[in-house]
Amino acid sequence: MRRAVLSVVLLAVALTAQLTVVNRLSLPGAGAPDLVLLTVVAVGMCSRPATGAVIGFCAGLCLDIAPPGSYLIGEYALVFCLVGYLCGRIRGLLNQSATLTIAGAMAAAAAGEALVALLGMAISDPQVSWTAVQQVLPSSIVYDVVVSPFLLYLVMRAMRWADSLGRDGVAAGQPANGSSLLAGGALSGSALPGGTVLGGAGLLGGAGWLAGPVGSRGSGGPRPSRGRRKPHTPSTPRLRGAAARSGDGWVGGGPRPGLAASAGLRTGRPPVAGRRGRPPRLRPAAGTPGSAHARPQRALPRSPANLRIGAGRRRDGSLGRALGSGAAGVGGSALRGRPGSGPPGSAFRGRRPAAGRPAAARPGAAGRGGSYGAPRFRPDTRLPGGSSNDATMRSAALRRSLPGRRASLRLGTGRRHDGIVGGSALRGGALAGRRLGARPVSLRLGSGRRGDGALGGLSGSRPPWARTRRATPRFRSGPTVGGHSLIGKGARLRAGKRARFGSGRSSFLTTWTGGRLGGRSTVWRIGSKRTGGFR
């Protein structure tokens, strides 16, 4: 809508400027630049073919009926309609480089001038003679070609400005200039260092903060050249202030409902993350269960400690799920397991935890009033990876000091839209995912699902590899992955497939950003394991 208004304004300005100023200037040569044509070209370069055709038609019609009426009504409408359509078409072909775009705009302007002359010679013969065309057309084309890059730049700047107007209303904490590149780059740059250490309640609880920047970086922060040409992609995920959105990922419980989930997002500061090198404790953050869930009607009961690892549900982005009576109804598609052996949807098979036992490492934070006070992760020796207790995490799950106990911490369930640590957010995590697949710790970073990942952000564009990942087994409900059998057999909660994507390749992020992003400069640490990370 803003673009439409802006296009109308631009064309009106171009039309009046053309008729009152440019045509009256006695420029050397017979021709003059055609600002209306160039504006149609530039606007067409920013829009779809149909839109470009409509804009061109309207502009041409206005030029036809504007007072010093020239030809037959409809001539310019016909030509500009074609030109606008053409520009919308070649935009898709030419968005590889700025040079190609400029060249395309020049060619379109020249073609438009030639079309005007041709049509004039065809249907308004005495006025447009061949001799006049010979004299006027070359200089007109030269003027158009010269002016076209500048006008293209101006129009694209204006379009981006209009888009940023639209985005500022939604985005919080985004730079005011609205440049998606800048926003994505800056925020992701500041976000990821905090997010690379998987540990600490602050980080886990504030994972919604991660969700925004990474989500916007994942597909909303396009490359410079791409972003300039396609400033408005309908599926571009935006950096939203509200984290409790569909697909937003919480690693751990979300913040209190009253608290803005995006406090970190707004201020641009990451929540206090755990220190690196230290065995990260997956501590239940101060959170409210279900705060990251997209569907409030399926709200889960509040429970104090909800370090949830492995959400069993589509679109829920919690690292794990809240247990309880409500959880049984909602799915547990990951583990439709044996009743009694574990809560449905729980990443950890095992006995249902006893109520009242504090599971959280920080009981104070975890003990905020919930209807369900059951600890989720207990120092239960039968649960190899499920403990959120410090001791268990250190001893059993994360450091894996006991040989038989493989950590089966699963981050990311491979569900569509569940954005845990992984998915397309971790495009740079292709290597990490691959490495993890080969390891006993079947930590899956990056499930390769559409919409998952981006650390919870909705990634709008379907990743190219998503098609092949659909049949990936997610959670085994067989005995192999059960918590009990894990102990004895040393089996791991397998991912089903090893490399989720990007095996043998460099990271997508690295490829897309030309190496500026995506390198594994820091690591995710689960326990003492380096699982790969991203800059």
Partner 1 sequence: MVLAVLLVAALALITLDYRDGSSGPGRDLRQAGGAVFGTAESVVSAVTGPFVDFFNNSSGSSSSGQVASLQRQVIQLRTELSQEQLSKAQYRELSSLLQLAGRGRYRIMAATVIAMGQGYSQTVTLDAGTADGIKTGDTVLNGQGLIGTVTAVNAQTCSVLLATDATSVVGVTLATSGQIGWVTGPGRTGSGSGLLKLQVLDENANLSVGQQLVTAASIHDRPYVPGVPVGVIKKVENRGGSLTALALVQPYVDFTSLGVVGIVVAPPSHNPKFSVLPPAPHVKPVPTVTVTVTPGASASPSPTPSGGG
List of residues contacting partner 1 (CB under 8 A): 12, 15-21, 23-30, 34, 36, 49-50, 53-54, 57, 60-78, 81-82, 85, 116-117, 120, 123, 126-129, 131-133, 135-136, 139
- Neighbouring C-beta atoms of residue 19, cutoff 10 Å: 16
Tokens representing 430 are 């292709």
- We find the least distance from the C-beta atom of residue 131 to partner 1, in angstroms, to be 7
Region label for 189, one of left (φ > 0), alpha (ψ between -120 and 50) or beta (otherwise): alpha
Tell me whether residue 57 or residue 475 sits nearer to partner 1 (CB atom): 57
CA–CA gap between residue 138 and residue 114 (Å, rounded) = 9
CA–CA gap between residue 447 and residue 466 (Å, rounded) = 9
Amino acid 31 reads G
Alpha-helix runs per DSSP H in 169-223:
180-195, 201-205, 207-215
- We find the least distance from the C-beta atom of residue 155 to partner 1, in angstroms, to be 20
Tell me whether residue 137 or residue 311 sits nearer to partner 1 (CB atom): 137
Tell me whether residue 31 or residue 287 sits nearer to partner 1 (CB atom): 31
- We find the least distance from the C-beta atom of residue 67 to partner 1, in angstroms, to be 4
CA–CA gap between residue 164 and residue 228 (Å, rounded) = 12
Q: In the 3-class helix/strand/coil scheme, how is 190-202 assigned residue by residue?
A: HHHHHHCCCCCHH
- We find the least distance from the C-beta atom of residue 62 to partner 1, in angstroms, to be 7
DSSP tag of 399: S
Tell me whether residue 63 or residue 261 sits nearer to partner 1 (CB atom): 63
Tell me whether residue 70 or residue 485 sits nearer to partner 1 (CB atom): 70
Tell me whether residue 54 or residue 204 sits nearer to partner 1 (CB atom): 54
- We find the least distance from the C-beta atom of residue 153 to partner 1, in angstroms, to be 23
CA–CA gap between residue 111 and residue 108 (Å, rounded) = 5
- Neighbouring C-beta atoms of residue 2, cutoff 10 Å: 14
- We find the least distance from the C-beta atom of residue 525 to partner 1, in angstroms, to be 55
- Neighbouring C-beta atoms of residue 5, cutoff 10 Å: 10
Phi, psi at 287, each rounded to 5°: -150, 165
State how beta strands 529-530 and 525-526 pair.
antiparallel
Contacts of the segment 10-19: beta carbons below 8 A, 24+ positions apart: 10/39, 10/43, 10/155, 10/158, 11/36, 11/39, 11/40, 11/43, 11/55, 11/58, 11/59, 11/62, 12/62, 14/38, 14/39, 14/59, 15/59, 15/62, 15/63, 15/66, 18/63, 19/66, 19/67, 19/68
Among candidate residues 192, 190, 185, 171, the one with its CA nearest the CA of residue 223: 185
Q: Where are the beta strands (DSSP E) in 353-483?
A: none
- We find the least distance from the C-beta atom of residue 146 to partner 1, in angstroms, to be 18
Tell me whether residue 34 or residue 452 sits nearer to partner 1 (CB atom): 34
CA–CA gap between residue 386 and residue 441 (Å, rounded) = 12
Tell me whether residue 121 or residue 259 sits nearer to partner 1 (CB atom): 121
- We find the least distance from the C-beta atom of residue 166 to partner 1, in angstroms, to be 24
- We find the least distance from the C-beta atom of residue 47 to partner 1, in angstroms, to be 12
Tokens representing 89 are 């078409």
- We find the least distance from the C-beta atom of residue 156 to partner 1, in angstroms, to be 23
- We find the least distance from the C-beta atom of residue 510 to partner 1, in angstroms, to be 40
Tell me whether residue 123 or residue 272 sits nearer to partner 1 (CB atom): 123
DSSP tag of 332: -
377's CB contacts (< 8 A; 6+ apart) are 282, 284, 305, 307, 309, 348, 353, 359, 383, 386, 387, 388, 389, 392
CA–CA gap between residue 310 and residue 347 (Å, rounded) = 5
- We find the least distance from the C-beta atom of residue 386 to partner 1, in angstroms, to be 57
What's the residue count for the chain?
535
- We find the least distance from the C-beta atom of residue 152 to partner 1, in angstroms, to be 21
Tokens representing 463 are 């990743």
Tell me whether residue 4 or residue 328 sits nearer to partner 1 (CB atom): 4
Tell me whether residue 74 or residue 175 sits nearer to partner 1 (CB atom): 74
Kindly list the distances between the CA atom of residue 261 and the CA atoms of 118, 256, 292, 437, in Å, as whole numbers in the listed order.
62, 8, 9, 32
Tell me whether residue 28 or residue 340 sits nearer to partner 1 (CB atom): 28
Tell me whether residue 58 or residue 201 sits nearer to partner 1 (CB atom): 58
